[in-house]
Amino acid sequence: MKFEFEETIRYSQTDGNLRLTVPALLDFFQDAATFQAEEAGVGVNVLNSHGLGWFLVSWNVEIMRMPSHAEKVIVGTFPYRFHGRFGNRNCYLRTPDGEYLAKADSIWAMMDKVHGRIVPIPDFVGAAYEVEEPLPMDYLGRRIQVPEDTAEGEPIPVLAEHIDFHGHVNNSRYLGMVREYIPAESLAGFRVEYKAQTKQGETLVPLYKNEGERVVVSLCSGGETRTNIEFMIRK
């Protein structure tokens, strides 16, 4: 079961070159997933009434090109597998005539918000969707290999603007925090591995390294890695 909506790239979503930013791209994908859940009758408020919520485990995003200011695009998504405690979902950005601009693979975990643990996906949630065949793309897995000899960047305070409905840093906000580490060269894609939640009032310390073909950034707090991010540079 696919879900799509039309959008126009806004000035507020673009960078200094009037191209869509990485955080804005993830916002599109997250919005598509939540809109589809609402349409299927298992949206945020329904899950919350059961003490449940979908929490992101990882993103794997391929970028063909970033659209420009005022360009019209189609944002789409669909689940391709539910298994145990996890769901797999593709998202994509395309032009109205069918050119893919970006493709994404994502892994989501069903969380018992009351007890703070991952639980099996309830039958009523899985039954609300029809799965599709996965998109053709490179499925790289969720774990990111982090180099040992990283440099330490400036600490980042976690503010109210970073927090979402679930009370922790929203998945796309981590990408906004590390925009200065995104390679100036052509970005071929990126991966994000979410390892632990971060709340308002904490401070994240970025540990980073540019390895030529990729840039890796780990966001840590209190000696614990919260999120690993890998940017791939187009050859």
* Residues recorded for the chain: 235
pLDDT, tens digit, 9 for 90 and up, residues 158-209: 999 999 888 899 989 999 999 999 886 789 999 999 999 999 999 999 999 9
Residue 235: the pLDDT is 78
**pLDDT of 93 over the 90 cut:** yes
Mean pLDDT, rounded, of the chain: 95
Question: What is this structure's pTM?
Answer: 0.94
Say how many C-beta atoms besides its own lie within 10 A of residue 43's C-beta: 15
Shared fold status for 1-139 and 143-235? yes
Compute CA 143 distance to the chain's CA centroid, rounded to the nearest angstrom: 14
Chain centroid to CA 199: how far? Answer: 18
* Beta-sheet pairing, 117-118 with 100-112: antiparallel
Ordered by start, the domain boundaries in the chain are 1-139, 143-235
Task: For residue range 141-159, list pLDDT tens digits in order.
Answer: 999 999 999 999 999 999 9
Query: What is the CATH architecture of 143-235?
Result: Roll (3.10)
What does the DSSP assignment read for 42-92?
--HHHHHHTTEEEEEEEEEEEES-PPBTT-EEEEEEEEEEEETTEEEEEEE
pLDDT in tens, 21-68: 999 999 999 999 999 999 999 999 999 999 999 999 999 999 999 999
Please state which CATH class domain 1-139 belongs to.
alpha beta
